[in-house]
Amino acid sequence: DAGITQSPRHKVTETGTPVTLRCHQTENHRYMYWYRQDPGHGLRLIHYSYGVKDTDKGEVSDGYSVSRSKTEDFLLTLESATSSQTSVYFCAISRPSGGAPDTQYFGPGTRLTVL
C-alpha cells in the first residue's frame, strides 16, 4: 500500500454539526483526492489537491471544503453536515506509473453517518 491512513474510520454525527476527516500519507506524493462512494454512483470526486495550499473542486464539491497545509495531510470538512452526506469517504494519492498515466492508491475509507 501507499502509506495512506484516514481518521476517523467511522463517525456518527448529527445534522448541522461540523465534521473534519483527515487523510495522511507518508510518501510525499503531490496529488491527493477526496472521493465519496454511494450505491449506484461509484466513486465521485469531491475535491483534489495538487500541492500545499493548492486545491480545486471536483464534481460534487457543494457542502465540502478542504485544506492542505502540509504535503502529508489533506483535510476534508463538512461545515454543517446533512443526511445527504452520509457516505463512505475515500482519500487517494496519485503515483507515477513508469511512463504511463499515473495510477491512484486509496486509503481504507471513513464511514460517515449523519443522523
**In the complex, which residues of this chain contact other proteins (CB under 8 A)?**
31, 33, 40-45, 48, 50, 56, 58, 90, 94, 97, 100-109
Largest Cα–Cα separation, the chain = 46
Q: How far is CA 16 from the centre of its chain?
A: 20
Q: How far is the CB of 3 from other proteins (least distance, A)?
A: 13
Q: CB-wise, 49 or 85, nearer to other proteins?
A: 49
User: C-alpha cell of 86?
Assistant: 452520509
Q: CB-wise, 29 or 114, nearer to other proteins?
A: 29
Q: How far is the CB of 5 from other proteins (least distance, A)?
A: 12
Q: How far is CA 54 from the centre of its chain?
A: 15
By C-alpha distance, which of 73, 52, 72, 56 is closest to 64? 56
Q: CB-wise, 1 or 62, nearer to other proteins?
A: 1
Q: What pairs with residue 112 in β-bridges?
A: 11, 87
Q: CB-wise, 7 or 15, nearer to other proteins?
A: 7
Q: How far is the CB of 40 from other proteins (least distance, A)?
A: 7
Can you tell me the distance from the alpha carbon of 1 to that of 9, in angstroms, rounded to the nearest whole number?
A: 17
Q: How far is the CB of 27 from other proteins (least distance, A)?
A: 14
